[in-house]
Amino acid sequence: MTKYVEEPHSYAQPNDAVITHLDLDIKVDFESKTIAGVATYDIDTNDASEIILDSKYLDIEKVEANGNATTFSMGDFNEDLGQALKIAITEDTNKISVFYKTTSQTEAVQWLAPQQTLDKEQPFLFTQGQAILTRSWIPIQDSPQIRITYDATVKVPNNLMAVMSAENPKQKTEDGVYQFKMKQPIPPYLIALAVGDLEYKPISDRTGVYAEKSMVDKAQEEFSDMEKMVAAAEKLYGDYAWEQFDVIVLPPSFPFGGMENPRLTFATPTVIAGDKSLTSLVAHELAHSWSGNLVTNATWDDFWLNEGFTVYFENRIMEALYGKDRANMIALIGRQDLADEIENFKDAPEMTRLKLDLEGKNPDDGMNSIAYDKGFLFLRTLEEKVGRDKLDSFLKAYFSKNAFKTMTTEKFVDYLNLNLLEPNNIDFNVEEWIYEPGIPDNQVVIVSDKFEQTETVLNTFLDSKSIDASKTKDWTTDEWVHFIRNFPESISTEDLQRLDNAFDFTNASNSHIAMVWYEQAINHDYHGNDVDAKIEDFLTHVGRRWYVATLYKAFERNDKTEAALAIYKKARPNYHSVTANTIDDLLGFEAEEFE
Ligand code: BES
Ligand code: ZN
């Protein structure tokens, strides 16, 4: 029986021969900026004469089958996919070993000099696997349909600590050698490594934070509700399957808000706001412990099954901890992101489908707000239709029945019909939501009194040019974000100056508030209070793709590409490859120009 569906982003042929366990033995060398070692796999074969792995920008030195040298060949190179690594095997081969090292082009890994870290004393390294970058630091069958357990031995300079998406050390070792074990089977995009001058602080007996010295106490404080989040998540959709839930706060070039590496979420330092106002990100990555890590999208066309479910689950965790008002504000910020994204795709409406068709494209090209916010809206609308209790028991059973398995969109639709809609006699336009562009008419409309009040304050200001400070004094980050994002097209620079003088948005320490303010400054040609210098500083220090892409897009949209380029030239060396690739495309750049 063929178990794996065809997918366009991996060369592997797992129906013929598949990896089941990885034993990784590597050395991390900051001098030469290489990771070198051997990846040994347990394999299962169907009488195949070769096993195919994915590899990109790797130096393959030799390959063994059952401990003996065997032949291998490399397929043609593809810009997105890399190359097939074809290894000759026989019917009794059950182990293969690939001796390899990474190269200067390896995309998953970012090597940071001490000055790019917070404490500025030691170098740092982190990897990013999703969507198809793991193959650039480990030769592997890099499809989300594959699941493997892994053990790893990682040698690093002995003043540094190594951590992975696995059972982790809490202290540095004397010799810089670290042993890891991930005993639950995970897809390759969730293998992750970070190395730096790290410390650990617990929050509860199963949650805690890793960060550099000067960040670790702040992180522990910011994320102090983490145990409550795990408990709330378990109450909703069943036991947490991964035992430990830690977060590592990385240097600012980390290209995402967060990445759900199992047992150890990777996070941007831009969420450390000092007031827990941006911790929905932790709820989000935690939710992936069910949607994504337990039940995994089978192909990147099914990405919305990971992200849409996670945004819904994130919102439910936030509601459980902080109430409905907060959850609705978060949902409405997402609703506006969705409206913006649909506008961005007005000339390519097929990109607004939940189920994508990414054949021949880099999966990264499909990873925008649609999967997140339209996926959320679908589930939220379904909740309204079937009732929360029924949806919750359906989801709980969905996660437990499909745990450690993969899911295609088609399989999900069948499962939904069979287990929720038909038994309850419910008529719902599932196909329209999933396979058609745009947003169906039956979408729920979320309302927030709090946001309506911010709109009133804004309108009063636009009429009267003054703001009654008593009305804004208790506003939270979400309210400020909503306020700033809803300036009318016609707002004058004088009004922006007044608002900036009153609220000092240009110097906002909250990264989300700063980002949306900078976007407005670019949109409206506002140059007061030295905001240009602040924007440049932000773009050269922060590598979070969503933030920086929003700002570069604003420059581009407002015919300020020259200004964007001037900043980008300075900023690009600080960006991880996933951010640099996105911005290269956005600003129409050939990467070579910078090398
Ligand atoms: N899994 C994603 C990050 C990702 C997406 C990596 C696509 C590679 C390709 C992660 O869970 C995520 O969604 N991060 C968001 C956080 C947010 C929605 C709270 C981010 O980085 O902004
Ligand atoms: Zn996510």
Q: Label residue 594 by pLDDT band (50, 70, 90).
A: very low
> What is the DSSP code string of 169-202?
-SS--SSSEEEEEEEEEE-GGG--EEEESEEEEE
Q: Which helix (H) or strand (E) holds 584?
A: helix 577-587
Ligand closest to Cα of 281 equals 1
261 Cα to the center of ligand 2, angstroms: 11
pLDDT in tens, 429-464: 999 999 999 999 999 999 999 999 999 999 999 999
- Per-residue pLDDT, averaged over 401-410, amounts to 98
- pLDDT (tens digit per residue) in 76-111: 999 999 999 999 999 999 999 999 999 999 999 999
Separation CA 334–CA 536 (nearest Å): 26
Which DSSP state fits 347? T
Contact 225, 279 (CB under 8 A): yes
35 against 365, higher pLDDT:
35
- Atom 19 of ligand 1, nearest CA residue: 281
Q: Identify which ligand lies nearest to the alpha carbon of 367.
A: 1
Instruction: Please state, as a whole number, how many other Cβ atoms lie within 10 Å of the Cβ of residue 566.
Output: 13
One-character DSSP codes across 405-435: EEE-HHHHHHHHIIIIITTTT----HHHHHH
* Active site annotation includes 285: yes
Output the pLDDT for position 589: 86
Gap from CA of 49 to ligand 1 centroid (Å): 38
Question: Average pLDDT, stretch 499-512?
Answer: 98
In sequence order, what are the residues at sequence separation of 6 or more whose Cβ sits closer than 8 angstroms to the Cβ of residue 48? 13, 16, 17, 89
Residues in contact with ligand 1 (CB, 6 Å cut-off): 130-131, 256-260, 281, 284-285, 288, 307, 367, 372, 546
Task: Output the residue whose Cα is nearest ligand 1's atom 15.
Answer: 257
Please give the number of the atom of ligand 1 that sits closest to the Cα of 280.
Answer: 19
The answer to whether the beta carbons of residues 439 and 378 sit under 8 Å apart is no
- For range 326-339, the mean pLDDT: 98
Note the pLDDT tens digit of each residue in 386-397.
Answer: 999 999 999 999
Distance 93 CA to ligand 1 centre (A): 38
pLDDT tier for residue 152 given thresholds of 50, 70 and 90: very high
CA angle 288, 290, 291 (to 5 degrees): 60
Q: Which two tokens stand for residue 237?
A: 């959709």
Ligand nearest to the CA of 307: 2
Question: What is the bridge-based pairing of β-strands 295-297 and 405-407?
Answer: parallel
The pTM score is: 0.98
